[in-house]
Structure 1
């Protein structure tokens, strides 16, 4: 009978090949077995091949969803791997769902804290991450009075996973989406992501009925290198949007200064092609009409909605279509050949 050889005493190439046959859940559980295995997996960093991470934090549950598809799939939920953490008597109930709602596993961890268990799993996932994520979504869906207790563990896990001087360990994601209470929470997350990879930045404080004021984020490399930004719940329009190709902002009150400020930025920067400003109130429509002149009226195919349109002349044989809807103002840049015949161009 062949002698039994402990896993950690095998050659590294053999151990690496063995781990290659394990799915992500098995590696995650193996990481929790003992200190030696945990350190070995941390050093080996077997490829996790995770392409999307979504975290939803609620008072009654924490949900961690992993996606293993390198490209978007129309039935993406069927490709997801979800771990749900819920309080259970004096411990935590952990449920695992692999691709199908019928394929579920669960276990009960006694004498432990919900946030600690979740944050340790997240830390392992981030440490093992090698691929460029398509997205990293983090949603704090909790009452304000629970804010500090819940977010601290998440920030701690992200920071612990990045405690290295090796630059390649920096988290890489093409898109970051954060639902939170304000800029201070965004600043605990975004700086850990590689600015050379990040393309889309989404921040939403509207769900939490908070106010978004950007004072420090706009000076980070991650902000300056992104191509697209979406901001929901702004109290005022921030500066430094010149680098973005696409801008979408939701604000309570849109002012005439906001409109003309964005128009100037839009006209001066040839890489920008779309700006969308969603508002609850816009009190300066008469001033816009005085400056821009009489608009063209467009309707949808059922003629149930109408909006005002102006066409502005831009540099480089291009034009800007400015649309004023009931709750939004949209600027779209296009080639002159796409401008409808017979319309009057306004000199911007």
Structure 2
């Protein structure tokens, strides 16, 4: 099939780019997963079967990854395609890989610039998405080790984020899930604020250290993020490698919360329990993962009341001010603590429902 006939709705620069990069462009690669070219390269408002887009920042390299699905007969097939743009001296290398078929191709473009090529492809992909809503949009970053270029890389990463948001424009990124690595809260806010609030349901954030510059979990707050409408309208939050904060208010009002804490303070469990018991907390499932959690059976667990105990797992049930509901507190030594608001008939056989011992000065020992 002659691809030119299928590009009539695209501007001339986009046409030239698509034709130039066949078959290395992720747009072309994705197009080949559809039944015909015309099914894929169509009017911009056409709903395309693109499920996931990941953009990744590296030192002198960018990566664009696209996940899609297509129907073959009665079967629904999935494809994951990746294009890496890499600079070497004055030339640019482009590597195209289809993970479904384990195929990889690489070419070098003399005098090419990896950033320009990435931007061109992403613009085409954005145009072809139209008003489609993604299942997941991800911003990733390679582990960067150059301590002498730390601030330079940080600035380049911020420029990378600006490029991505500029390509999507004021309409914003329509996605159900946002996953992102970042060095500071303002970088995370740049992308989060550019998503469509009423579409975004799930947020996953991972602060990171880059080239000797720590993202500083102890300096990483949520004051900027938590006031955004995208944050307030989401239902699920996943925070990885965060240090404990003095306030938990910004994360107590999602339907489901999963926090990977580097260090955990017992006062945060007390705060969470106060919200659950009072009925003010809207969260149905609150889980804290932390390897530093350690229990002292002789001294501390007895103050929590009688537990259902199996191996390293302890489960308690506490009264709440919500009629017909109890709080299920589960502790797994050296792994996690979880709180769930459940109906009274859902408690384990033989368990007692008691009042949480807020007056007890010591109920957990954390090492």
Q: TM-score, normalised by structure 2?
A: 0.72
Deviation, 1:117, is: 2.5
Q: Who is 2:305 aligned against? A: 293
* Aligned mates of 1:255, 1:70 — CA distance in 2: 48
Helix, strand or coil at the partner of 2:82: strand
* Aligned mates of 1:221, 1:70 — CA distance in 2: 33
Q: Deviations over 1:5-48 (max 9, x none)?
A: xx8xx9xx9934xx7xxxxx989615999xxxxxxxxx963645
Q: Who is 2:165 aligned against? A: 159
Instruction: Kindly indicate whether residue 84 of structure 2 is the aligned counterpart of residue 84 of structure 1.
Output: yes
Q: Who is 1:110 aligned against? A: 110
Q: Who is 2:285 aligned against? A: 274
- Which ranges of structure 1 fall in alignment gaps of 5 or more residues? 1-6, 20-24, 34-42, 300-305
State whether residues 226 and 243 of structure 1, in contact with CA within 8 Å, keep that contact through their aligned partners in structure 2.
Answer: no
- Which ranges of structure 2 fall in alignment gaps of 5 or more residues? 23-41, 357-367
Q: Who is 1:3 aligned against? A: none
Q: Who is 2:324 aligned against? A: 317
- Cα 1:260–1:127, aligned 2, differ >3 Å: closer, same or farther? farther
* Aligned mates of 1:188, 1:31 — CA distance in 2: 32
Instruction: Kindly indicate whether residue 58 of structure 2 is the aligned counterpart of residue 58 of structure 1.
Output: yes
Q: What is the aligned residue count?
A: 309
- Cα 1:142–1:279, aligned 2, differ >3 Å: closer, same or farther? same
State whether residues 56 and 140 of structure 2, in contact with CA within 8 Å, keep that contact through their aligned partners in structure 1.
Answer: yes
Q: Deviations over 1:159-207 (max 9, x none)?
A: 322434xxxx321100000122221210121111001010000001257
State whether residues 138 and 178 of structure 2, in contact with CA within 8 Å, keep that contact through their aligned partners in structure 1.
Answer: yes
Q: Who is 1:257 aligned against? A: 267
Q: Who is 1:133 aligned against? A: 134
Instruction: Kindly indicate whether residue 203 of structure 2 is the aligned counterpart of residue 187 of structure 1.
Output: no
Deviation, 1:109, is: 2.4
Helix, strand or coil at the partner of 1:163: helix
State whether residues 324 and 330 of structure 1, in contact with CA within 8 Å, keep that contact through their aligned partners in structure 2.
Answer: yes
Instruction: Kindly indicate whether residue 232 of structure 2 is the aligned counterpart of residue 231 of structure 1.
Output: no
Helix, strand or coil at the partner of 1:159: helix
* Aligned mates of 2:16, 2:77 — CA distance in 1: 22
State whether residues 199 and 226 of structure 1, in contact with CA within 8 Å, keep that contact through their aligned partners in structure 2.
Answer: yes
- Cα 1:239–1:59, aligned 2, differ >3 Å: closer, same or farther? same
- Cα 1:206–1:274, aligned 2, differ >3 Å: closer, same or farther? farther
* Aligned mates of 2:114, 2:125 — CA distance in 1: 17
State whether residues 293 and 336 of structure 2, in contact with CA within 8 Å, keep that contact through their aligned partners in structure 1.
Answer: no
Q: Who is 2:69 aligned against? A: 69
1:209-248 to structure 2, matched below 5 A, reads 210=215, 211=217, 212-237=220-245, 238-248=248-258
Q: Deviations over 1:257-304 (max 9, x none)?
A: 2001111223424752211112243589789646523433123xxxxx
* Aligned mates of 2:259, 2:267 — CA distance in 1: 15
Q: Who is 1:150 aligned against? A: 156
* Aligned mates of 2:79, 2:178 — CA distance in 1: 20
- Cα 1:156–1:252, aligned 2, differ >3 Å: closer, same or farther? closer
State whether residues 57 and 142 of structure 2, in contact with CA within 8 Å, keep that contact through their aligned partners in structure 1.
Answer: yes
Match of 1:196 among 192, 195, 198: 198
Q: Who is 2:8 aligned against? A: 15
Deviation, 1:153, is: 3.8
* Aligned mates of 2:100, 2:241 — CA distance in 1: 35
Q: Deviations over 1:50-70 (max 9, x none)?
A: 221122333364321101238
Q: Deviations over 1:312-344 (max 9, x none)?
A: 123231222211222321112222222123211
Q: Who is 1:36 aligned against? A: none
* Aligned mates of 1:151, 1:223 — CA distance in 2: 23
Q: Who is 2:18 aligned against? A: 29
State whether residues 51 and 70 of structure 1, in contact with CA within 8 Å, keep that contact through their aligned partners in structure 2.
Answer: no
State whether residues 135 and 175 of structure 2, in contact with CA within 8 Å, keep that contact through their aligned partners in structure 1.
Answer: yes
Q: TM-score, normalised by structure 1?
A: 0.76
